Structure 1
Amino acid sequence: MQEQPAKAVPEITKKDLRAVTLRWLFFNTSAFNWERMQHIAFAWSLLPVLKKLYPGREELGAALKRHMVFFNTEMTIGSPIIGAIAAIERQKAAGEEIADETINAIKSGLMGPFAAIGDSLWASAVNAILLSFAMSMALQGNILGPVIYAIAWIALTWYMMSTGINLGYRLGVDVLDSEFLTPQTIERVTRSLNILGLVVVGALSATFVSLSTPIQWTLQQKATTLQSILDGMMPKFLPLLWVGLVWYLHQFRNWSIMKLLGFTIVVGFVGSLLKIF
C-alpha cells in the first residue's frame, strides 16, 4: 500500500459504528446464499460508513461492488472484521493506494480464524448455556424462560458486536498482526472451546433429553425391568444413544433439523403406542 497525498474525509464517529453494529446484528444472514453467503449482509452493514466516505454515486457504487464477493464468518466473534474494513476504507478514501484485491484478501484472511473461534465459543458454548437456563424455566411452566433468553442473547450479542467492531476500527489493518490470530493460538483456543462445548452439550443432553422404556419380564416369579438394567450399566443410557443417533443422522446423513424433529415425534408416538418407550 503506497501512501498518497491525503484527502479530507469525514471522521467515522461512534454513531456511525453503532449504525453498522445495528445492521450487522439484525441482518448478518439476510440474503444468505451458498454462492457468496454473507456478502450482501456485509455490504449492507457497512453502508452507513461507505455513504459517508464516498458521497459520489459512482464511488459509492464501486465501494459496494468491492464487497459483493464471498464472505462468511461467525457473526459475533467475527465482528472486528467489519470494523477493520471500515478503517481501511477510510484510508482508501483519504487517498492511499489500496487495491480492491487487498481489501478482499484481508477479509479472506480474517474470516476463517474468527469463524473457528466464534463457532466454538459462541455457537457451541454461550448459546448452549443461555438455552439451558431458558429451557429449565420453560419446563417448569415459567413463560419468562424464552423472554429472558431473547433479552439476554440480544444484549450480550450487541455488547460483543459493538466491542468487536469498535476494536477492529481502532486496529485497522493491524488486526492482522494480532497474536490472538496466530495459528498456534487459534488451534489451542479452538481445541479448548470444543471441549467446553462438548461438556455443555453433554450436560444439556443428560438434563433435558428424557427417554426410558417400560419393558419388563418375569423370571422365577421376579419382575425385571429393562430400564433398571440399563441404569445399572450407565445412567441416562437411552438418552445418550438417542443423542448419538441424532448427531449421526445430522452429521453423516445430512438430515435437516426439521426432518430430525419429525423423526423424533414419529419415534416417540410409535414407541408410546407399542409401549416400548
Structure 2
Amino acid sequence: MDAKTKKNRIGHKTLSKSFNLWFWGALTCFSQEHMQTFGYLCSMLPIIEKLYPDDVSDQQDKIHAYTAFFNTNPMLGSVIVGITASLEEARANDTGIDGETINDMRAGLMGPIAGIGDSLIDGTLIPILLGIALGMSQNGSPIGAIFYIVVWDLLAYFGQRFLYFRGYKLGDKAVGFLVGKQGKAVRRAIGVVGSMVVGGVLATWVNVTTSVKLRNANGHVFLNLQKQLDTIYPVLLTIIVTLLCWWLMAKKHVSAIWTMIILIGVALVGVVIGFFNPGLKY
C-alpha cells in the first residue's frame, strides 16, 4: 500500500462517528420533499472531512453528491451508507469512482433495500417481538413493554452497526447481490415469511365478537348472533375487520394512525348501539 492509499483511508473512529450520525439522525429534518436526505448527508460529513482534510472547497464539491433525494428503510439503509463510505474512499484514491457513480449506486439500492427492510423489519421482526411482548404483558404486567423496548433498541443499534460495517467492507461487491436475482429471491422469501408472521399474530391476538342477543317476551335468548356467525364462518368478524384495515391502508392509502382512529370510532358506536360489549362496569 503506497503512501497516498494510506493517507486516504477511513479509520474505525471516523466510521463509527458516521454510523452514529446515521443511527440518530436518519429521520431528522424529515419532510416529504427530502425524506432522509439530510440524515444521509450528515452521516457522510465525517467521511468527507477525513478524506479531504486540506481543502474546504474540495469538501463542498464532494459532499454535493449527497444532496440528492434519498429514502429507504432506515434500519437496513445503514448498509447503503457503509457502501457509500467505501466508494467515497475509492474516489479519494482516484480509482475511477465519481459522484455520479455514487449517486447511481444509492439510487439503485433505495428500492431493493426498502423492499427487504419493510418485509423483514416491519412485517416480520416487529410482529414477532410484539407477539412475545403481548404474551408477557398479560394481567397488566409491565415486563412485556420493558422486554420490547430493550430488545428492540439493542437489535436496532447493533444490527444497523453490523450492516454499516459489512457494507463498508464489501463495498460495490454488495450492490450486485442486492439488486440481482439473488436479491429479488431474498425479498420474495422475506415477504412470504412476513405475511405468515402477520397472519399468526392476527390469529393469536385479534378477536372481534358481537354481544347481540335477541330475547322473547319471557326473556329467553332465541338468537345469539355470535353463535350463529360461528356456525357459518368462525371468526368472521375478525376477518372483516382485518380486511377493512387492509382495504383502508393498501387501497385507499389511509395512514395507520387514521385507520386506528376509524377503528376506535367503530368500536365506540358499536358499544353505544349494543353491538359490542367490552364488559365494563360503571
User: Partners of 2:26 and 2:134 in 1: how far apart?
Assistant: 26
Cα displacement string for residues 174-204 of structure 1 (whole angstroms, at most 9, x for unaligned residues): 22233x541x323322222222212211222
Shift of 1:44: 1.0
Shift of 1:21: 2.2
> With structure 2 as the length reference, what TM-score do the two structures score?
0.87
Moved more, 10-19 or 246-255: 10-19
Which residue does 2:97 correspond to in 1? 98
Asked whether the 8 Å contact 1:74–1:115 carries over to 2, the reply is: yes
User: Partners of 2:138 and 2:44 in 1: how far apart?
Assistant: 41
Which residue does 2:280 correspond to in 1? none
1:93-132, aligned counterparts within 5 Å? 93-132=92-131
User: Partners of 2:77 and 2:49 in 1: how far apart?
Assistant: 23
Shift of 1:57: 1.9
Moved more, 160-169 or 253-262: 253-262
Which residue does 1:26 correspond to in 2? 24
Moved more, 38-47 or 6-15: 6-15
> In the alignment, which of 33, 36, 43 is matched to residue 35 of structure 1?
33
Q: 1:60 to 1:139 in 2, by over 3 A?
A: farther
> In the alignment, which of 195, 198, 205 is matched to residue 198 of structure 1?
195
Which residue does 1:52 correspond to in 2? 50
Residues 1:214 and 2:211 are matched in the alignment: yes
- Greater RCO (Cα-Cα under 8 Å, separation 6 or more): 1
> With structure 1 as the length reference, what TM-score do the two structures score?
0.88
Which residue does 1:74 correspond to in 2? 73
Shift of 1:252: 1.7
Moved more, 20-29 or 101-110: 20-29
User: Partners of 2:131 and 2:44 in 1: how far apart?
Assistant: 34
Shift of 1:139: 4.3
Which residue does 2:222 correspond to in 1? 223
Q: Give the paired residue count.
A: 271
SS of corresponding position for 1:140? helix
Cα displacement string for residues 204-261 of structure 1 (whole angstroms, at most 9, x for unaligned residues): 2222223211112358x76231111222233322111111101111222222223222
Which residue does 1:11 correspond to in 2? 9
Q: 1:274 to 1:222 in 2, by over 3 A?
A: closer
Shift of 1:276: 0.6
User: Partners of 1:57 and 1:185 in 2: how far apart?
Assistant: 41
Give 1:86's aligned amino acid: A
* Aligned residues: CA RMSD: 2.3
SS of corresponding position for 1:32? coil
Shift of 1:14: 2.5
Q: 1:98 to 1:11 in 2, by over 3 A?
A: closer
Give 2:203's aligned amino acid: A
Which residue does 1:187 correspond to in 2? 184
Give 1:101's aligned amino acid: E
Shift of 1:6: 4.3
Give 2:186's aligned amino acid: V
User: Partners of 2:172 and 2:183 in 1: how far apart?
Assistant: 19
Give 1:275's aligned amino acid: G
Identity fraction in percent = 30
Shift of 1:86: 0.5
User: Partners of 2:214 and 2:103 in 1: how far apart?
Assistant: 67
User: Partners of 2:88 and 2:184 in 1: how far apart?
Assistant: 30
Q: Structure 2, unaligned stretches of length 5 or more?
A: 277-282
Asked whether the 8 Å contact 1:213–1:226 carries over to 2, the reply is: yes
Which residue does 2:259 correspond to in 1? 260
User: Partners of 1:228 and 1:63 in 2: how far apart?
Assistant: 68
SS of corresponding position for 1:223? strand
Q: 1:213 to 1:58 in 2, by over 3 A?
A: same
Q: Structure 1, unaligned stretches of length 5 or more?
A: none
Shift of 1:72: 1.7
Shift of 1:10: 4.5
Which residue does 1:148 correspond to in 2? 147
Shift of 1:64: 2.2
Give 2:98's aligned amino acid: A
SS of corresponding position for 2:67? coil
